Structure formats: C-alpha cells, structure tokens
Amino acid sequence: MGLLVVGSIGLDDIETPFDKIQSALGGSTTYIALAASYFSGPVNIVGVVGDDFGKEHINMLEEHNVGLEGLQIVEGAKTFRYGCKYHYDLNVRDSLFTHLNVFEKFNPVIPDKDKKSSFIILGNIAPNLQLNVLEQLNNPKFIVCDTMNFWIERTYDELQNVLKKVNVLIINESEARLLSKEPNLIKAAKIISEVGPQYLIIKKGEHGALLFGENTIFSAPAYPMENIYDPTGAGDAFAGGFTGYLHKNRDFSFENLKRAVIYGSIMASFCVEKFSTKGLENLSFLEIHNRFIEFRELSKFD
C-alpha cells in the first residue's frame, strides 16, 4: 500500500550568505515527498495551497510521481509563506516572517483511496492535526512523525498523545533536549522513547544522526559538505529518504533501519547542496547509490 505525507506546503523567501531567493517552493510535505519519491511511488500528499501556487510546482511534483489528489487549492486565498535569513555559519536562522494564509485553517482531509495507506509521514504540523490525520486512516502499518520547538512548547500534551501512536519520531538535537527537559542526548532519548515512539532519530546536522531503538544505538556520520547553500528542508528530506527507503523494502529489522537512516542522510545532503527543492529535483539512482558507498567508507573501521 501507499506512502502518504501530510504537512505544510509553502512558498519561501530564503537568504543565506551565498544568495537569496523569493517565493521558492517550500514546506515540509514538499521536501518529504520529493525525497521519498526516489525510493517508492507514488507518494501521495495531503496539503493546502492558495491560487498563487505556481503551476510549475504542480508539474514538477507530478513528474516525480507525487499523487496530488489530497492537495486542496483554495481560490482567492494565498499559500503559506515563510521568510528566513541564515547566519554566516548556517546553523542559525532568523525567521523574518510567517504568513500562515490558507494554512491557518488547514483541515487535512485524506482522500478515500489514501485511507488505507500503510506508511504515513506526519510532517511538522500542529499535533492535533497529526492526530486528526491518524484518526482518518485505516490501521496504518508504519507512522513516522516530525515536530518542532514551537509545538513542544505550546502543545506539549497533544504532542505526547501523538508520540504514543507513532513508530518513529524524527527530531533534532535541540528539540530532543526541549522535549525531554534533559541536556544529555542519551538520557533524553530514553525519556522520549518511554513516552511511546518505538524508534527515535535525533538529527545533529553537520554531526550526523543517532537512531535509538531495541535497546541499541546507531550513530550515523554526516556527509562532509563544503558547500551548503541552503539548509532549508534538510530535516524533511531526511524523513522522506528514511521512510521512502523503508517503504520500498518493508524490512523493519534494526540493520535495515540503519540503512534507512543513511538514505535519509543522503537525501538531506543532496537537499542542502542547492536552494529550495532544487537539490531533490534531478537525482539519479547512481548518484544516490554512490553517496551510500561514500557514507560507508566515511565511518568504516575494524
């Protein structure tokens, strides 16, 4: 059965030390779906945009075999817009503006044909919307969830209810510390895992990622990147690569989850090499495979 992604779709203004762009395709759903599309298809999305959402974006997503039946296009309204500026070292960004627009009243409606989706990725949206999505689904086999500081701080209880239902939570370092109220990541992971998620992935940006589960830890290296042009969407690309790979081969062993973490890292590394979603739009299977080999060489010793 299919892979369903629910989250935000937006148009971003992004400034990095290298360049700036306006009204570029963004949103968690977009990055997740594109990254997953290299492993498994169709990837079906549920989201909302306004009538300012360019046809070229629709076309590009369709070319990647992204199913758009769940995409609501609201006439006379504007797409979610976000603006940010990255600092010199790219690890910190200032939000410049957030115009929720159509996203403010987003009510995810899962198309009937997608209610039997076996794999779900809950992008970074309000926990009550994530719960709403899960309630519409018919017994999904594997649920992957993202969240962020904003929801941890404002909707802690709802988020806890989501965490009880998901197989994998993917968050970054600072989110893990905030969610667990514990600075040590290993302790933080135990605290979070006790709430519910069967597996926890903590993304550490330029330091790689940690996978926790089955009383085991896997430490994935980061791809050595000299030129990060735009970090936007890296975490979503990770979630898409991770879940897309698992959806493709349906092997839930810890060994295969490790590989999925590497494929997530690979898609994140491609994502940040170009602005907006450009780094995820024209990849070949050979490029992805070669980067897997590079990741393996990077951390191998005996």
The footprint of a copy of itself (CB under 8 A) covers 88-90, 183-187, 190, 204, 206-208, 210, 217-222, 224-226, 228, 255, 258-259, 262, 296, 298-302
Q: Which of 1, 186 has the CB closer to a copy of itself?
A: 186
Q: How far is the CB of 214 from a copy of itself (least distance, A)?
A: 13
Structure tokens at 115: 């209610």
**Sequence-ordered strand ranges (E) for the chain:** 3-6, 10-15, 20-26, 43-50, 66-74, 80-86, 93-99, 119-122, 142-146, 168-172, 199-203, 209-213, 216-220
DSSP one-letter code for 156: H
Q: Which of 89, 135 has the CB closer to a copy of itself?
A: 89
Residue 97, Cβ neighbours under 10 Å: how many?
A: 9
Q: How far is the CB of 90 from a copy of itself (least distance, A)?
A: 8
Query: What residues contact 40, with CB distance under 8 A and at least 6 apart?
Result: 3, 244, 245, 247, 248
Q: Which of 22, 184 has the CB closer to a copy of itself?
A: 184
Q: How far is the CB of 300 from a copy of itself (least distance, A)?
A: 8
Q: How many angstroms separate the CA atoms of 285 and 6, rounded?
A: 25
Q: Which of 206, 251 has the CB closer to a copy of itself?
A: 206
Q: Which of 219, 249 has the CB closer to a copy of itself?
A: 219
Q: Minimal CA–CA distance to 79: which of 110, 46, 111, 106? A: 106
102-111 as b/e: b if 16+ CB within 10 A? bbeebebebb
Q: How far is the CB of 186 from a copy of itself (least distance, A)?
A: 5
Q: How many angstroms separate the CA atoms of 141 and 281, rounded?
A: 28
Q: How far is the CB of 91 from a copy of itself (least distance, A)?
A: 8
Q: How far is the CB of 89 from a copy of itself (least distance, A)?
A: 4
Q: Which of 75, 255 has the CB closer to a copy of itself?
A: 255
Q: Minimal CA–CA distance to 5: which of 239, 205, 182, 178? A: 239
